Amino acid sequence: MENYYKNKLKERLNYCQEWKHYIDMYLANKEITKKTDVEFYKTRPFLKLVLNLYFLPYNLIRLTKHLRIRHDYKKNEIEIKVLSEKINSVLKK
């Protein structure tokens, strides 16, 4: 029974680490897109203002989505740490 529990903990840890990797890639690509937008709109400030006003509701929704992802990311980091400690304690038994 203890072996089954240890394997399930390892599977969950593996899943959390994979999820963290995917979110790292997602956030890195979002940063590239953000830098691209800044460069593109340097010469078009009026267009940027008009588009920001027009898409304000949509941008607020995207902001809440981004904040939620950041929250889940931080929670996942703590879960990885807790699972690692739990696995180490089970292995020592």
Read off the pLDDT of each residue in 20-32 and give the average, rounded to a whole number: 97
pLDDT tier at 93, thresholds 50, 70, 90:
low
pLDDT the model gives residue 52: 95
Read off the pLDDT of each residue in 47-63 and give the average, rounded to a whole number: 97
Read off the pLDDT of each residue in 48-72 and give the average, rounded to a whole number: 97
Range of the domain at 60: 2-92
What is the number of domains present in the chain? 1
Burial 32-63 (b: 16+ CB within 10 A, else e): eeeeeeeeeeeeeeeeeeeeeeeeeeeeeeee
Instruction: Calculate the alpha carbon distances from 43 to 13, 32, 40 in Å.
Output: 47, 19, 7
**How do residues 40-49 score in pLDDT, each as one tens digit?**
999 999 999 9
What's the token pair of residue 89? 């304690």
